Amino acid sequence: MDVGEADRNAVVVTRHPPTKQMCLQALGAAGLKVRVESIIPLPPDSSRVDLMVVDLDLAPEASSDLIGRARAEHSEAVVFAVADRAEKVRLHDALAVAGVDHVLCKRSAAPAQPGGPTRTLGPDSHALFTAARRCLDPAAYGGVDAYLLPGARFQEVAVEGSQHVQPTFTALGKYLEALGMADNRLRYVDAVLDELLSNALHYGPRDADGKPRHKRTDNIELLPGEQIRVRFGCDGQHLAIAVSDPFGSVERALVVERLCAAAAGKLKPREEGVVSLSLSMLSTAVNQLIFAVTPGRRTEAIGLIKVVGSNREALEYGTSIHFH
């Protein structure tokens, strides 16, 4: 089944009707001609494949093998892996497979009838659309602005050291209060900012040997030209928090390691004063977690939270993770 008339091609490998429908809509809207298949190896086709969505629920016990076979057929394609939200360990493990930089949960929803089973819907259309669009045209759709509707206004705070951390939280709190967000949502968002900003401030600056320059207990004052930028904005559907730094110290392998450990419940607490990347809370608190790293030059970490409906409804979507 083909949909669209674009010159960029996507293949979706799934037998799950809601996933099929969501991919057809979101990827087609992102400018891709979408073909849906139910098996790997794929039927013969001479078309170049730019993006491939692989449903890991096709082979729950052999997810890595499934991805490996998909990559072997179309090594040039960007691979998105999707799976049931309850399979967080498998999704995070998929990030460790070479070439997989995008994992998305299928949404879980309340039973259609009281006492019935939880329904498994397709992956988040917003996450699919924005990630695919950025993969196809990173110059046009890089940065946090691309994740909110056009015209959404952002506030920006410059952080030059520990003395600017609390004013940043104060600015975010006032912004959210002006939007009428409830107290429980404010605490939730504060925790997201805390992890993103703490990682940039404590983990980003390095010494000449490439080791963290500060301990977690240090009162940090950044050097000239090392300013961290915090931006946050909302379009009525999503709240975006972005933290960018000029260090480019975040390593993909370490992020994946800690996400996998958090998903498996094996993430060890930080030792006092020791700098280590913290991601345990982010893997559940946001609906999209995006990293864009230029090693040694820049890191941008973005957290997106759905603000329509309740916290419980936002949690139904799970967390998609993307590396650009």
Instruction: Map out the domains of the chain as residue ranges.
Output: 2-140, 144-323
145 pLDDT above the threshold of 80: yes
142-159 average pLDDT score: 95
Q: What pLDDT sits at residue 272?
A: 43
Superfamily of domain 2-140: Response regulator (3.40.50.2300)
Q: Looking at domain 144-323, which CATH architecture does it have?
A: 2-Layer Sandwich (3.30)
User: What's the rounded mean pLDDT across residues 159-164?
Assistant: 96
Q: Looking at 171-185, 231-245, 285-299, which range is the least confident one?
A: 171-185
Average pLDDT over residues 122-150: 95
Report the pLDDT value the prediction gives residue 166, as an integer from 0 to 100. Answer: 96
pLDDT for 115: 73
Determine the pLDDT at residue 85.
87
* pLDDT classification of 271: cutoffs 50, 70, 90: very low
pTM of this structure: 0.92
What percentage of the chain carries pLDDT values higher than 90? 56
Q: What pLDDT is attached to residue 290? A: 96
In this prediction, residue 276 has a pLDDT band, given cuts at 50, 70 and 90, of low
Structure token digits, residue 288: 């999209």
